[in-house]
Amino acid sequence: LAKTTQPISMDSYEGQEVNITCSHNNIATNDYITWYQQFPSQGPRFIIQGYKTKVTNEVASLFIPADRKSSTLSLPRVSLSDTAVYYCLVISYNTDKLIFGTGTRLQVFP
């Protein structure tokens, strides 16, 4: 299972765009990238998933370069309610196991 590395914490202000980068140098051909958000005392919530290039949904965008050794979660115009821990996971199509890293603790200030 590919190991991921992401910043421990990030700070931002309301209305700004936040980009959280995750490194996954050992990603395999069949692996895809998934991001989850977790608030205190809640289960993780699925945000976005992608394999390559760019994926966008109503809450975020995911940018994956051609070599797929990293990915960037982009949160447009964050608000205070986006304060949470964001986990980047690399998932193999052949296994259901999710290995959570340390995550990135995002703090949004007014």
Partner 1 sequence: GAVVSQHPSWVICKSGTSVKIECRSLDFQATTMFWYRQFPKQSLMLMATSNEGSKATYEQGVEKDKFLINHASLTLSTLTVTSAHPEDSSFYICSVKPRDRGSDTQYFGPGTRLTVL
Which residues lie near partner 1 (CB under 8 A)?
Answer: 32, 34, 36, 41-46, 49, 87, 91, 93, 96-103
Please state the closest distance from residue 69 (CB atom) to partner 1, in A. Answer: 21
Phi–psi pair at 11, nearest 5 degrees: -115, 145
What is the spatial distance between Cα 87 and Cα 68, in angstroms, rounded to a whole number? 17
Q: For residues 41 and 110, which CB has a smaller minimum distance to partner 1 in the complex?
A: 41
Sign of CA dihedral 19, 44, 53, 61: negative
Q: Tell me if residue 104 falls in helix, strand or coil.
A: strand
**Closest residue by Cα to residue 20 from 8, 33, 2:** 8
Nearest-approach distance from CB 105 to partner 1, in angstroms: 9
> CB of 16: closest distance to partner 1 in angstroms?
25
Between 13 and 30, CB nearer to partner 1: 30
Residue closer to partner 1 by CB (options 18, 36) is: 36
